[in-house]
Structure 1
Amino acid sequence: MRKPVQVSIYVDEGCWAGVAILIKELLVIAGTLHSRNFDLDASALFQITLAGPSEAAVRSFTGTMITPDQAIRNSGPPPQVIVIPPYYFFDAQAVPVRANFRRWLVRAYERGAILLGFDGGVRVLAASGLLDGHEVTGNLSDQKAFAQHYSPVRFSPHVPLVTDGRIVTATGTAPSMDACAYLVNHFYGEAAAHKFSRYTNPVRRPVYERTELIDVVLKNHADHRIRQAQEFIERHFNQDISVEDAARRAAMSLRNFTRRFHTAVGMTALNYISHCRVEHAKKMLELRGGPVLQVALECGFNNEASFRRAFHQICEQTPMQYRKASMMKKKPSATP
């Protein structure tokens, strides 16, 4: 039987205790859902530890005392995942980080760990220097701090969930759940992630979150730069973007990017752009009426004809046929 993935949730003075516990319980729930077994030890997909600067209790933002399971260690096997919960900072000053905390982070990351940062916790990660050159999200109020102290980090606070290689950041409650779903998918596959998402976040999500989860199966590859390009496409598909734009985002030549994208994803980058646009269009057709041309333009197509061709190629039906079929599914069945 596969050993559970080792996860450390770092708790320190001023952290949001509720979110730290929420993340722990979400990852525990992933195991019980996957195995349909309420024996927490037997069903565990993740072995979660609260790690602190020492084993002494720390005071959370609201005054709740949290006792770490263990102190961070710079010896022995590092965790496979490190989670930094939210913190609230009153100003835009640089965040001081403990030297042993930074060594612990760097050592784990160099050995392949995934780093998850939530809201203000992203500033803690940024202070370690490990986010330099990466794109992240976080609190909109932290824009000034990132501009002043962490300028090498590409800060995109309007995006709820960003995965850039082994750096995963989220802002808000629902994206935090999706970040956990990303972990489940990364280590245990799409089926386990889908089951987890249906249980923990069943409410219809905005398109930006739904696209992230729809396309997660197409990210089961090891090419981090191509995943970065995929995430760029997913955020900008409704704009006038091109394959060249995505190649530049991945800092690759067009020829090399085209080859590596097809090898990693199994389709061309141009088809991937169409895929994202059509997925968006399907939800728009399900949720509202109106002209097909309007749907086409809002999804990033230049005209209705190109939209119809792409839609039929992917869905094997026209947009109107898809809308009619979705409306029929919504109609309550007649009772005898």
Structure 2
Amino acid sequence: MKTVACIIDEGFAPFEFGVACEAFGLDRSDDGVPNFDFRVVAPHPGAVHSKLGFSVNVEHDLSFAYEADLVIFCPMPRERWGNVDARLIAVAQDAVARGAWTMSVCSGAFALAAAGVLDGRRATTHWMYSGVLAAMYPQIDVDPDVLFVQDGRIITSAGTAAGIDACLHLLRIELGAEMANRIAKRMVVPPQRDGGQAQYIDRPLPAVAGDSLSDISAWAVQNLRDELSVDELARRAHMSSRTFARRFRSEFGMPPATWLTRQRIVEAQRMLERTDLGLEQIAAETGFGSAAVLRQNFTRVLDTTPSAYRARFSCTAAMAG
């Protein structure tokens, strides 16, 4: 992925637009991160007004979107959900047809839905709008509870900050975990929140900050090679296993065992990129125990083998040079 087109139109949402610019438009070459040819495009170049009363000057029309490796659809005003610009529909259809990455942030999903490219697919948008999307387009499997959904080479994300998670997810696919983590560090955000994490918490967390499970999760990440059972984590949190599991799912959006597996995979990605260690040793260091178990979990979550991942993203040769 080398070229990125970010589409905005009248009434665009500044924060979500800024997320796309931050993730793909900044020069981070001083951190070893490759740059993208990032361009903001619009159906009508010139002054494009945001929903907050200011405008940005867009130099490019939609031509670049027809050749970009990634096309991003920013949120659109509610009044245009049922009347999407035909030019945006054409861009979405072209991007999907030629196999480009296609991403929507928040209500940008309505443009993809109008183009028909989400038919028969799973998708998401902001939880406040998911019912409208499902009612307007019943052929789409709308998931109202998740941060983002990847279906093939189409990524739809929920509102506001979930766009950051979707962008980092794609950057991790294209550049590897190490580069994505560097970008996340510069953005001062968590390097990975799983797409299946809930958009919002069903019940309020306790008001006392000390009751947060962040200390336990941080300790677990530092001790992934150990056999970390729910009972052990619950004991350290001074809770019953049942209470801990319920609290953990509420705070992190998934069961403790699923979260631990994802953290172990993230660490395995880092080691595959940054070291020459064999799979058995990586499996031991990350708590999987054996190369076979590492391979099984890695392939299930990332849809590629550890060896294939290392072949694509290893930077040990560059480090040695």
TM-score of the aligned structures, taking structure 2 as reference length? 0.60
CA–CA separation in structure 1 for the residues paired with 2:148 and 2:30: 27
The one of 75, 93, 96 equivalent to 1:86 is 75
- Tell whether the 8 Å contact from 2:124 to 2:130 is kept in structure 1 after alignment: no
Q: Is the Cα–Cα contact under 8 Å of residues 6 and 48 in structure 1 kept in the other structure?
A: yes
Gaps of at least 5 residues in structure 1 are 38-42, 213-230, 236-274, 301-306, 318-336
Q: Which residue of 1 aligns with 2:31?
A: 36
Q: Are the equivalent residues in 1 in contact too, given 2:106–2:157 (CA < 8 A)? A: yes
Q: Who is 1:315 aligned against?
A: 287
1:61 is the counterpart of 2:51: yes
Q: Percent identity, aligned pairs only?
A: 21
* Residue 47, structure 1, aligned to residue 6, structure 2: no
Shift of 1:60: 1.7
SS at match of 1:67: strand
Q: Is the 8 A contact 2:46 2:57 kept in 1?
A: yes
- Give the Cα–Cα distance (whole angstroms) in 2 for the partners of residues 165 and 287 of structure 1: 40
1:172 aligns with 2:144: no
Identify the residue that residue 22 of structure 1 maps to in structure 2: 19
Whether 2:105 is the aligned partner of 1:118: answer yes
User: Alignment length, in residue pairs?
Assistant: 231
Tell me the residue number matched to 2:139.
152
In structure 2, relative to structure 1, the CA distance for the partners of 1:145 and 1:296 (3 Å cut) is closer
Matched with 2:96 is 109
The Cα shift of 1:22 comes to 3.2
**Gapped runs of 5+ residues in structure 2?**
199-223, 250-256, 262-283, 290-321
- The alpha carbon displacement at 1:83 in A equals 0.8
How many Å separate the matches in 2 of 1:196 and 1:6? 17
Tell me the residue number matched to 1:137: 124
* 1:1-336 pair list within 5 angstroms: 5-29=2-26, 31-32=27-28, 35-36=30-31, 44-73=34-63, 78-89=67-78, 94-202=81-189, 210-212=193-195, 281=230, 285=234, 288-292=237-241, 295=244, 315=287
Moved more, 290-299 or 134-143: 290-299
Distance 1:292 1:145, change over 3 A: closer
Measure how far apart 1:52 and its partner are: 0.7
Distance 1:6 1:79 in 2: 5
Counterpart amino acid of residue 182 in structure 1: H
Taking a change above 3 Å as real, the CA distance of residues 294 and 120 of structure 1, as seen in their structure-2 partners, is same
Runs of 4 or more consecutive aligned structure 1 residues displaced over 6 Å after TM superposition: 296-300
Change (3 A) 1:9 1:140: same
Partners in 1 of 2:147 and 2:229 — Cα distance?
17
Deviation at 1:88, TM superposition (A): 3.5
C-alpha separation between the residues in 1 aligned to 2:229 and 2:157?
21
**Could you say which residue in structure 1 is the equivalent of 2:204?**
none
Aligned mates of 1:199, 1:86 — CA distance in 2 = 25
| Counterpart AA for 1:16 | A
Distance apart, 1:168 and its partner CA = 1.1
